[in-house]
């Protein structure tokens, strides 16, 4: 049920109360959903765009000092991958909201190893999509709100996460959040 689009009336009431509650806060970031272009959203693109549009307008009305941005996109350089299929339309919607002054940036997620085959191809592909579909958006100032690696070796994971963080910050990215996906063998470590 949590991946289903919420009832618009209930969602708007909830968002309004959250916005009013945090209206006087400073330095609060709110991401609207998680990976709506992948497995965390079972609705249509239009349903997400409608939810996003209503949400950012409510926050702009009741809590204009908060920093609201769209859900982080998961993309891949492999255009046959389901994670890539809808990204251009998401960028177009984000560009529209940016043009209206309702958002300042967007977010992306880059999981997997820090290497040419996965990480850098994914970044280049997303940049190509931005250049084609949303010229007012860029990676400079974008939020990397998830970036993880897989494996059980703590040293390897730490090295890859630090490399991703430094690369992100060095290239103007913001709000880096690291994840470590450990293989689970049935016993806690």
Q: What integer is the mean pLDDT of 113-123? A: 83
Other beta carbons within 10 Å of 184? 9
- Place 188 in a pLDDT band, splitting at 50, 70 and 90: very low
Q: Which residue has the higher pLDDT, 12 or 1?
A: 12
Q: What integer is the mean pLDDT of 65-73? A: 92
Its pTM stands at: 0.86
pLDDT of residue 112 exceeding 80, the answer is: no
- 57-61, 105-109, 114-118, 177-181: range with lowest mean pLDDT: 177-181
- Place 58 in a pLDDT band, splitting at 50, 70 and 90: very high
Determine the pLDDT at residue 189.
45
pLDDT of residue 90 exceeding 80, the answer is: yes
Instruction: Report pLDDT digits (tens) over 161-172.
Output: 888 888 888 888
Q: Whole-number mean pLDDT of the chain? A: 84
Per DSSP, the residues of 125-159 read HHHHHHHHH-TT--STT-EEEEEEEE-S-HHHHHH
**What is the torsional sign of CA 39, 41, 47, 53?**
negative
Determine the pLDDT at residue 138.
85
């Amino acid at each position: 049920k949590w991946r289903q689009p919420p009832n618009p009336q209930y969602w708007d009431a909830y968002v309004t109360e959250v916005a009013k509650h945090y209206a006087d806060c400073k330095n609060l970031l709110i991401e609207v959903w998680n990976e709506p272009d992948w497995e965390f959203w079972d609705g249509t693109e239009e349903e997400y765009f409608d939810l996003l549009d209503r949400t950012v307008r409510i926050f702009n009305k009741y809590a204009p000092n908060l920093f609201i941005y769209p859900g982080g996109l998961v993309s891949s350089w492999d255009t046959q991958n389901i994670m890539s299929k809808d990204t251009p339309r998401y960028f177009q919607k984000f560009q529209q909201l940016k043009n209206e002054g309702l958002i300042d940036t967007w977010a992306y997620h880059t999981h997997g190893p820090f290497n040419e085959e996965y990480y850098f191809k994914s970044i280049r592909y997303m940049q190509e999509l931005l250049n084609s579909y949303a010229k007012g958006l860029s990676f400079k100032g974008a939020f990397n709100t998830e970036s993880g690696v897989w494996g059980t070796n703590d040293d390897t994971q730490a090295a890859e996460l630090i490399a991703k963080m430094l690369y992100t910050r060095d290239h103007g990215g913001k709000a880096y959040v690291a994840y470590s996906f450990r293989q689970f063998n049935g016993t806690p470590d």
